[in-house]
Amino acid sequence: MSRLLAYLPLYSWLKNYQRDSFVSDMVAGIVVGIMLIPQGMAYAFLAGLPPQYGLYAAIIPLFLYALLGSSRSLAVGPVAIASLMVGSTIADSTARGLGDPVTIAINLSLLVGVILILLRIMRLGAIVNFMSHSVISGFTSAAALLIAISQIRHLTGLNIPSGGFFTDTFSYLLSNLQAVNSATLLLGLSGLFTLWFVKAKLCCLLERSPLPVWLVQPVCRAGPMFAMIVGIVLVASLQLEQSHQVAIVGAIPEGLPTLSLISIDLQLWQQLLTPAFLIALIGFLESVSVGTTLASKRRERIDPNKELIALGAANLGAAFSGTYPVAGGFGRSMVNHSAGAQTTIASIISALMVVITVSFFTPLFYYLPKAVLGAVIIMAVIPLIDVKSFTDSWRFNKADALTLLGTFAFVLLLGVELGIMAGIAISFILLLYRSSQPHIAVVGRVGDSQHFRNIQRHDVATDKHILAIRVDESLYFANTRFVEDFIRAQCASHRQVEHVVLICNAVNFIDASALESLENLSVHLQSQAITLHFAEVKGPVMDQLQSTRFIEQISPGRIFFTTDEAVRELGLGDAEVYEI
């Protein structure tokens, strides 16, 4: 029992839990709760589910994460990108007659939870490392853009067919401008205005006012709530849903979600496996990266293994409360942190606010216009469109920038699933391409030190009989021919060379193709009275070479401990050793 408790991060935090900490958690929990209620409804909507499912996803999963999670301030619940992915899976699966949206959502949650826990058990959490920063950044920006575009339908009241190419939305919009529901559009714009006004103007005013922080904080984050109130009041007072056919949320069932039993449907699971895997990976990655960022601000660290379990449990909780997958969201986690959350008690407070809402206040949302939910979604995803990452990586590394741009383009063109897979493929191919044409330097001695550097960058001394070549890459199938050609060309243009020393301090492994190529090279050079030597071969590579007959085969070529030693020994017997 005590070992189990020791596993729970919350238990260790509560040991030193003070009254102050609880007040902080309380404020942060309320602030996040105020955002969570409108966002939950809006994201459910984005996933193609009735709004209450977004609220259900903000109860049991939050309690489970609060218990098991290793991040003090990660705010778990329905998030934008996972909602988009669930939405596209639901649209796809219902079109193929695999079941109703809610059944598919529940099964997705179950699979996501199981996959995350399996990744922990199989110690494969490191798999997320194969998605590079650039792939994630390109993916996130493109997904945010797709989400924003998908809301045009709700802001205009137009029945834009979903599932097509993203430009279809614009062409439909342009050819049906006369059919735009102006009341809906005005409600949407008023929602956007309210959100912008609260965030950009009201908040600044209040922060400069003498009002206490515990009051300013919740008001600043209440933009979505205010937008909803404005929308509800306008629709209800002017009866816009009747006079102007404004689409409203309508009746939401009151009460907590009932625990559901999930039936085993192997055929459905097979169909949902790939999307569930991607939702699990993206959700885990988003949570870990936000969690790491926030933890490092406190000079702490989160434990990715515990996160796998905590997020897995949260998703199983989502499945059993009959709703769709959850993750740690970017926006609400940032707010949770800056509002002062000390522990996951804050999440429990947020969840309790949702419990109160679904228990008593759902009738208040009857007149809530869908256009306002669209506005809430758009304002939430705009910060995810990240142009700076692109400009930064363009300056630092063109391959990263290309990966980012490629992923962005493929997500827009092929959709989220195929798009991210294409992005990962691009990052792999560029990596291989880079290492297939490695940097190779001819080096010389720096002054009279034991160090050797590139003759093109440093003022170094070389021996005309010795060619010291450093290959800045492991030797393997994709670059072995390139390296061989370089060395042959160098030998051809330095006629006095008698010894070639291949400096292997950057060679981290040698594969079978490269081994064969080096043997051939050694034989070929020998025929021109040139001996091939090696220097600074690393321990693991040396072990590998010793398991073969390589060392005999390159004889009289030798393997030197250092370049210095090689050049000293091979240069002996020659009076005029160095020429600068």
Q: Which residues bind a second copy (CB under 8 A)?
A: 126, 129-135, 292, 296, 299, 301, 389, 392-393, 395-397, 399-400, 427-428, 431-432, 434-436, 438-439, 441, 449-451, 454, 457, 472-474, 476-482, 488, 505-513, 515-516, 520, 523-524, 527, 538-540, 544, 547-548, 561-562, 564
Shortest CB 196 distance to a second copy, Å: 31
**SS3 of residue 65 by DSSP:** helix
Shortest CB 44 distance to a second copy, Å: 33
CA 306, 309, 318, 142 dihedral sign is positive
Calpha distance 53→339 (Å, rounded) = 26
Shortest CB 342 distance to a second copy, Å: 19
- Please list, in sequence order, all residues whose beta carbon lies within 8 angstroms of the beta carbon of residue 301, skipping any fewer than 6 positions away: 292, 295
Nearer to a second copy, 162 or 296 (CB): 296
**SS3 of residue 533 by DSSP:** strand
> Which tokens belong to 282?
């993206």
How far apart, in Å, are the Cα atoms of 381 and each of 13, 95, 233, 328? 32, 27, 25, 15
Nearer to a second copy, 318 or 441 (CB): 441
Query: Count of CB atoms within 10 A of residue 172's CB?
Result: 18
Nearer to a second copy, 360 or 509 (CB): 509
Nearer to a second copy, 176 or 391 (CB): 391
Cβ atoms of 462 and 444 within 8 Å: the answer is: yes
To the nearest 10 degrees (0 to 180), the angle between helices 416-436 and 133-150 is 150
Shortest CB 357 distance to a second copy, Å: 38
DSSP classification of residue 160: P
Shortest CB 133 distance to a second copy, Å: 4
Nearer to a second copy, 244 or 524 (CB): 524
Shortest CB 181 distance to a second copy, Å: 44
Q: What is the CA radius of gyration of the chain?
A: 31
Nearer to a second copy, 63 or 476 (CB): 476
Question: Measured between alpha carbons, how far apart are the two ends of the chain, in Å?
Answer: 73
- Please list, in sequence order, all residues whose beta carbon lies within 8 angstroms of the beta carbon of residue 29, skipping any fewer than 6 positions away: 341, 345, 346, 347, 348, 349, 350, 352, 353
Cβ atoms of 141 and 408 within 8 Å: the answer is: yes
Calpha distance 292→275 (Å, rounded) = 25
Nearer to a second copy, 402 or 413 (CB): 402
Shortest CB 449 distance to a second copy, Å: 7
For 486, the enclosing helix (H) or strand (E) is: helix 480-493
- Please list, in sequence order, all residues whose beta carbon lies within 8 angstroms of the beta carbon of residue 311, skipping any fewer than 6 positions away: 65, 69, 76, 116, 283, 284, 287, 326, 327, 328
> Which tokens belong to 69?
């999670």
Query: In the block, which residue shows the tokens 């291989």?
Result: 432
Shortest CB 391 distance to a second copy, Å: 12
Does the bond joining 38 to the residue before it have cis omega, within 30 degrees of 0? no
Nearer to a second copy, 417 or 473 (CB): 473
Cβ atoms of 457 and 491 within 8 Å: the answer is: no
Nearer to a second copy, 77 or 304 (CB): 304
Question: Of 257, 252, 256, 254, which is closest to residue 320 (Cα–Cα)?
Answer: 257
Shortest CB 262 distance to a second copy, Å: 33
Shortest CB 388 distance to a second copy, Å: 12
Nearer to a second copy, 338 or 505 (CB): 505
Calpha distance 58→312 (Å, rounded) = 15
Q: Quote the distance between the C-alpha of residue 182 and its chain's center.
A: 38
Nearer to a second copy, 345 or 401 (CB): 401
Shortest CB 568 distance to a second copy, Å: 12
Nearer to a second copy, 104 or 443 (CB): 443
Calpha distance 75→72 (Å, rounded) = 9
Shortest CB 299 distance to a second copy, Å: 4
